[in-house]
Structure 1
Amino acid sequence: MHDGSTGARGRAGRPRRMLTALAIRLAGASLCLLAIPATSGALDLPAPTAAAPDQARLEAIVRKLASPEMEGRRGAGAERTAAYLVDQFKDLKLEPLFDGRFTQPIPGKTPGAIQGTNLGAMIRGSDPRLRDEWVIVSAHYDHLGVRRGVLYPGADDNASGVAMMLEVARGFATGATPPRRSVAFVSFDLEEIGLFGSRYFVAHPPMPLDRVSLFITADMIGRAMMGVCKDQVFVLGTEHAPGLRAWLDESARGRPVRVGLLGSDVLVLNRSDYGPFRTRQVPYLFFSTGENPCYHSPEDRAETIDYPKLTAISAVIGGVAASASGAEETPRWSPTPDNPFDEARTVRDVLRTLLDHEQALKLNGAATFLMRKALGDAEGILGRGAMTPAERSDLIQVTRLILAMIQ
């Protein structure tokens, strides 16, 4: 996951800006959401067309991508990773996405130089009316490389997301019913240094962006934020296409993972590859389990991934992609955000969780006082069943302040 800077950073780089750090912690802590609300005017829910993901394959992919062979997926390691992913696309008998090629070179600053490579494959839609519309499932494959002789494996960031993308692609490729819309599977390069890969893709798309019905990306979906939200994944983007909430609800039902909705403005900056698509007003969903103690460190190893959780999240994403690829209609972009009311429940549950871990977090008196006050405000909002824009803004700001005090 990009840390909001203009270059790759983390424990090995310069400190983050304060405001970005607060937003990151808020997004991670906000994972503790109980459920997705049903929405009025929800779209029809077609039967999924994708086969279920396999945990053993997901683990094998993560271990391959996070191995010393891939050298942290930067430089020569990134080239080996790209070759491996292209072979996976070919094994699944997917079509190339970029004018007969699986690769989209990203030019460097000097003439003729190539600084990175996006990867993409596709399955053409079966419905003559809808095959020119697109669903994109994506995850960036680059990471931090080897620094001062130390490998940064990037198992969660973002081998977990790439494994999901490949398993969803396999599900579509082997499913009994082909998708009505065309489905693209894309792995971006250079996310860690400023979303360069996705920015280049959006500037040079292989399909008209106004024909993309839904863009899905996942970044870090294999662990638990703060070691607390063990079974949660949070999702940004439904505020611009509220009809997506019904698909998320349906896809998550009965799975051992809870999906929490947040408005994208919870993050001060665009933290991953949804950003360029958001700027172009393409409906999107961003999945993440948030930061953890291994973030951007040599400890982000394959053996620390929660593979049952990764499998469940992959199934949720595959189900949403199947719904989007087969529905008669898909949600349109709404320029006026419709932020989910359950953000108030998110804040309430986060504050309860933090207070439950008061000793472990070593909360001081001022932080505890603010937390209890904000908890009361959130409970009042939930009790009334309505939240004004001013109340939402105040609640978010107070939560950021609390999290700044306890970091």
Structure 2
Amino acid sequence: MRTAILSIFILLGLQANAQEVEIKNLEKHIYYLADDAMKGRGTGSKQNKKAAKYIAKHFKKYQLDALGTDGFYQDFKAKVRKVKVTDSIREARNVIGFLNNNAEKTIVIGAHYDHIGEGKQGSSRAENSYGIIHNGADDNASGVAGLLELARIYSQNKEKEPVNFLFIAFGAEELGLVGSRYFVNNPTYDLSKIQWMLNMDMIGRLNKETGVSIIGYGTSPAFETIFKEIQPENFVKFYTGYEGRGGSDQTSFYEKEIPVLFFHTGGHDDYHKPTDDAEKVDYASLKNILNLEKAVIESSFKQHEMPFRNTDQNK
């Protein structure tokens, strides 16, 4: 009897330590970031700064180390190039938090938090959209929600993973990957210690017939081994792409010969339009995508002795 009771307490303890993806958290983050009050989080706006502050607040709550140049923030300037505006040079920032497990290698988990504001910085796909709020729920409040949820899980699970985690919310992605390029050219962490980078951009509108795209499979010889550990029937449908480049922030890391995986659910009719709203996000599928990402991340732990960097990847 005593042994049985002890086993129950151990099981309860393991359950208490386990951290699962919570839909309520995903909803909270996306509805906040994609609210009309945030006016589309355009680079240089006070709402964009408010979004950065929101992310930093959660990084602090999760007791991540601040790894910017000013607390969690890494400030830089970005230029609007697609349209002529009087204030083409904008203040922008990355938000950087570090989970230090005293490991030799680090995984970067990233997502951009800016969007195209009120249609005044270019890139809107809607007609007569100047001055209209583009909420950017899928692009990319969905990725930021995933970033924050993974930061919560790995910082609060009472486990010590065999890697460190560098969580980065990038600014000014919509102006040309400016934030991620600024980080890799002005790193606040040794790039040589980065094992690989996971990027999330538009993961909230899953097409269940095609599945989630995972770009960058060919950027490391380790990924083939990692995905052999993944049993597709246990997760949301997915497919892999070999190339590491693409229209999001993983490209900046790939160009520094860092292996990357980019999770993306594809385009849709609301992309870069005022109609990309929080109620259109598929929260159940978003949760399932994050569970797949967790499985990939945790499968990579087993490959810590395998060289991730493929010196031929850019040839």
Aligned to 2:62: 92
- TM-superposed deviation, 1:254: 4.6
The amino acid that maps onto 1:239 is G
TM-score between the two structures when normalised by the length of structure 1: 0.63
The amino acid that maps onto 1:72 is G
- TM-superposed deviation, 1:99: 5.2
Aligned to 1:316: 292
Alignment of 1:268-307 (within 5 A): 270-307=246-283
Quick one: percent identity of the two aligned structures? Answer: 31
Aligned to 2:237: 258
Identify the structure with bigger relative contact order (alpha carbons < 8 Å, sequence gap 6+): 1
**CA distance 1:200–1:61, shift in 2 (3 Å):** same
Q: Does 1:120 align with 2:101?
A: no
Query: Any unmatched runs of 5+ in structure 1?
Result: 1-48, 339-407
3-state SS of paired residue (1:285): strand
Please identify runs of 4+ aligned residues in structure 1 that moved more than 4 A.
251-254
CA contact (8 A) 1:224 1:292 kept: no
Q: Does 1:136 align with 2:136?
A: no
Query: Any unmatched runs of 5+ in structure 2?
Result: 1-16, 80-88, 120-129
- TM-superposed deviation, 1:335: 3.9
Aligned to 2:25: 57
3-state SS of paired residue (2:224): helix
- Deviations along 1:75-96, one digit per CA (max 9) or x if unpaired, are 1110110111111111111111
> How many angstroms apart in 2 are the aligned matches of 1:124 and 1:237?
26
- Deviations along 1:116-158, one digit per CA (max 9) or x if unpaired, are 10001011024xxxx2421100100000101333110101111
- TM-superposed deviation, 1:255: 3.6
Q: Does 1:240 align with 2:219?
A: yes
3-state SS of paired residue (1:286): strand
> How many angstroms apart in 1 are the aligned matches of 2:278 and 2:104?
38
CA contact (8 A) 1:182 1:325 kept: no
**CA distance 1:115–1:264, shift in 2 (3 Å):** same
Equivalenced residues, count: 277
> How many angstroms apart in 2 are the aligned matches of 1:284 and 1:133?
15
CA contact (8 A) 1:324 1:330 kept: no
CA contact (8 A) 1:181 1:326 kept: no
Q: Does 1:170 align with 2:138?
A: no
**CA distance 1:334–1:297, shift in 2 (3 Å):** same
The amino acid that maps onto 2:310 is S
CA contact (8 A) 1:97 1:120 kept: yes
3-state SS of paired residue (1:261): strand
The amino acid that maps onto 1:236 is I
- TM-superposed deviation, 1:304: 0.6
Alignment of 1:8-407 (within 5 A): 51-74=19-42, 75-98=45-68, 101-107=71-77, 115-126=91-102, 131-147=103-119, 148-225=130-207, 229-230=208-209, 232-251=211-230, 253-264=232-243, 270-325=246-301, 327-336=303-312
Structure 1 or 2: more helix by fraction: 1
- Deviations along 1:227-265, one digit per CA (max 9) or x if unpaired, are xx4461111112121321343453564544112011227
**CA distance 1:66–1:165, shift in 2 (3 Å):** same
The amino acid that maps onto 1:185 is F
3-state SS of paired residue (1:224): coil
3-state SS of paired residue (1:151): coil
**CA distance 1:223–1:195, shift in 2 (3 Å):** same
**CA distance 1:192–1:252, shift in 2 (3 Å):** farther
TM-score between the two structures when normalised by the length of structure 2: 0.81
The amino acid that maps onto 2:46 is A
The amino acid that maps onto 1:97 is L
Root-mean-square deviation over aligned CA pairs = 2.3
3-state SS of paired residue (1:142): coil
> How many angstroms apart in 2 are the aligned matches of 1:99 and 1:325?
29
